[in-house]
Amino acid sequence: MLSTVYTAVLHGLEAELVTVETDLSPGLPTLTMVGLPDITVREAKERIRSAIINSGYAFPSKRITVNLSPANTRKEGSHFDLPIAVGILISTGILETGHLKEYAFLGELSLTGSINRVDGALPLVLGLKERGIERVILPEDNLAEASLVQGIRLYPAADLSQLVAHFGGGMLIRENQKRELAAGIKGIYELDYADVLGQERVKRAVTICCAGGHGMLLMGPPGSGKSMIAKRMATVLPEMTYEECLDVTKIYSVGGHLSRELPLIQQRPFRAPHHTVSGAALIGGGSRPSPGEISLAHRGVLFLDELPEFSKRVLEMLRQPLEDNQVTIARVNGNFTFPSQVMLVAASNPCPCGYFGSPLHQCTCSSAQIHRYMDKLSGPLLDRIDLHVKVLPVDCQALSRSESGPPVVSSADMRSQVEAARRRQRERYETEADSQSRRNQGDSAVLLNGQLSPTLIRRHCQLDQDGKQLMETAFKAYGLSARAYSRILKIARTIADLQGSSQIQTAHVAEALSYRTMDRHGAGGSL
């Protein structure tokens, strides 16, 4: 008897419908799988056999052939256990077809017949919905994340016996009615910029970064507060919308970072990998490609502390993802794409001992040592980081300020400025024809100055005569590249938005230039 059951397979974050065809025929008892199953799927035959027997059902002593269609697509993941088992139960007559064609199945089987959670349930369910599937049977532990998807009926099953009873007219599996919504959720942060004293200029740079989605390099001696400043950046970013929460949660679902207790990512991601991180862990990869740190930081902050301590090869791998806002991993069986729209924040000492250019300590490094230390930071990589900010040590007077002194800028103060500036950008770019075109193609619309294309830069970053003259002088004096020139214009556009100005003024250009005129050792220049 031939049976047909539906499930799905992931390619990156996209799901493709898979038809599981099961045929029983006379012959020696075997279970053969075709349709490019990987090792996880091929091993399913032993789990399925034990799960069916231990659930109290007879396993057929016939030749069983399972075809996973389309046959030219590689099938990966333990979620194929359940649909294959259901196909066998239908072919043996234990389950009747009935309304099974309306269902898709996801789940890993234990030897006892229990249905265990799987990775990637959220994008799998999204893909099934887009392909017309009305109902999904899935593990109970995946229900919370899958319930984020609207317009599809979900049935959480604990084991095979419960599933057989559901379709056999016995005890029905109750459809999930609760839906998780992210709208209006407020992130709760323990950190605050009110704790950062005496670094008001750096806080201003942080506000500009968060307002326009720009990257930033913090350079200064040890103990000046670089890490402290970077770790608070997520507290300044606006709350994520429902669509953004869903977008980020999909990535965490594929990477296996969700649980019953954490079914939804509600706060802006902040990822801080150690400098020993490998290229595959940072960018993504593996035999079964999974998202790396740069994709897990999507819509949030990727913080690289002690930047020169990272492998130069690993750092150079960041260049294309930072430019394209996505990571493409090429494998023999296809290309896998993960989004990587991040704010890259990096921190570095100016030399191995950390005190080059410090007014408080004497540097003990030779010129050769400093050169070797900073040589890992290539010009093309630094060119892709918008703001280069020198962080100076804080004096004792600032640290011992009294409560009666001037108020310290807090995260709430900075966030209100960021939200106002982003509102102006959103209103300006939502009407763009090419933004609408990108939306039609399924890409994220341009909503931030940091995402501007060359065409939009020419349209929205016009300078007056004084501003042009200032840019020409800086271009020659500092040997700026065309990329640096464009990034300065985008920073100036963000500064103008923070001040509520529709036009970029000379003062905005001058401030933007002050964040691009620091050499690789943290020494600032002047015009």
Chain centre distance of CA 83: 30
Residue 527: inside a domain, yes or no?
A: no
163 dihedral zone (left: phi>0; alpha: psi -120 to 50; beta): alpha
Same domain, 368 and 456: yes
CATH classification of the domain holding 41: 3.30.230.10
207 in a structural domain = yes
**Radius of gyration of the chain from Cα atoms?**
28
Among 167, 201, 235, the domain boundary falls at 167
Percent of the chain with pLDDT over 70: 91
pLDDT tier, 525 (very low <50, low <70, confident <90, very high otherwise): very low
State whether 469 and 505 are in the same domain.
yes
Q: According to the model, what pLDDT value does residue 19 have?
A: 96
Model-level pTM?
0.86
Compute the average pLDDT of residues 36-42: 92
Residues 157 and 244 in one domain: no
Kindly state whether residue 40 falls inside one of the protein's structural domains: yes
pLDDT recorded at residue 193:
93
> With contact defined as beta carbons under 8 Å apart, do 9 and 16 qualify?
yes
**Interval 83-88 mean pLDDT:** 96
Asked if residue 197 and residue 132 are part of one domain, the reply reads no
Say yes or no: 156 and 271 in one domain.
no
159: pLDDT strictly greater than 60: yes
Of 310 and 183, more confident: 310
Residue 137 and residue 76 in one domain: yes
pLDDT at 526 over 70: no
Residues 153 and 248 in one domain: no
Distance CA 332, CA 368 (A): 44
Q: How many Cα atoms within 13 Å fall on the side-chain side of residue 32?
A: 12
Q: pLDDT, tens digit, for every residue of 500-520? A: 999 999 999 999 999 986 655
- What's the pLDDT tens digit per position in 232-247? 999 999 998 888 988 9
**Number of domains observed in the structure of the chain:** 2
pLDDT at 178: 64
pLDDT tens per residue across span 3-27: 999 999 998 899 999 999 999 999 8
Short-list 20, 39, 44, 11, CA closest to 120: 11
Pick the last residue of a domain from 151, 167, 183: 167
Higher pLDDT, 443 or 39: 39
Q: Which two tokens stand for residue 102?
A: 């309306």
Taking the C-alpha atoms of residue 41 and residue 410, their distance in angstroms, rounded to an integer, is 52
Q: Is 524 a domain residue? A: no
End-to-end CA distance of the chain: 82
Instruction: Dump pLDDT digits (tens) for 439-495.
Output: 444 344 668 999 998 999 999 999 999 999 999 999 998 888 899 999 999 999 999
Q: State the average pLDDT for the chain.
A: 88
Residue 312 dihedral angles phi and psi, to the nearest 5°? -60, -40
CA–CA distance, 217 with 380 (Å, rounded to integer):
14
Burial (CB < 10 A; 0-12, 13-18, 19+), residue 185, is: middle
* pLDDT value at residue 173: 86
Instruction: Specify the CATH number for the domain of residue 336.
Output: 3.40.50.300
pLDDT at site 519: 54
Mean per-residue pLDDT, 100-120: 94
Q: Could you tell me if 141 and 7 lie in one domain?
A: yes
Shared domain check, 254 and 156: no
Helices 482-498 & 200-212 angle (0-180, nearest 10):
100
> In terms of domains, do 287 and 372 share one?
yes
C-alpha distances out from residue 387 to 39, 260, 487, 488, Å: 47, 39, 9, 9
| Pair 309, 275: CB distance under 8 Å | yes
pLDDT given at position 431: 72
pLDDT of the residue at 103: 93
Q: pLDDT of 341-389, one tens digit each?
A: 999 999 999 999 999 988 888 899 999 999 999 888 888 899 899 999 9
Shared domain check, 215 and 106: no
Q: Which domain holds residue 341?
A: 193-514
| Residue that finishes a domain, picked among 167, 202, 236 | 167
> Is 281's pLDDT higher than 90?
yes
Task: Identify the burial level of 333 via C-beta atoms within 10 angstroms of its C-beta, where 0-12 means exposed, 13-18 middle and 19 or more buried.
Answer: middle
Note whether residue 181 is domain-resident: no
121 Cβ neighbours under 8 A, 6+ residues apart:
79, 106, 138, 139, 142, 145, 146, 253
Give CA 165 to chain center in angstroms: 40
Kindly state whether residue 521 falls inside one of the protein's structural domains: no
- List CB contacts of 181: < 8 A, sequence separation 6 or more: 242
Compute the distance between CA of residue 233 and CA of residue 343 in angstroms, rounded to an integer. Answer: 10
| Largest Cα span, the chain | 90
Mean pLDDT of 406-426: 92
Q: Are 303 and 295 in contact (CB under 8 A)?
A: no
Q: Across residues 216-232, what is the average pLDDT?
A: 93
Tokens of 200: 């008001």
Phi, psi angle pair for 408, to nearest 5°: -90, 135
Considering the domain architecture, whether residues 118 and 252 belong to the same structural domain is answered as no
Q: How far is CA 514 from the centre of its chain?
A: 31
Q: Does some domain include residue 76?
A: yes
Between CA 16 and CA 431 the distance in angstroms is 33
525 inside domain: no
Determine whether 23 is exposed, middle or buried from the number of CB atoms within 10 Å of its CB (0-12, 13-18, 19+): middle
As a whole number, mean pLDDT of residues 298-311 equals 95
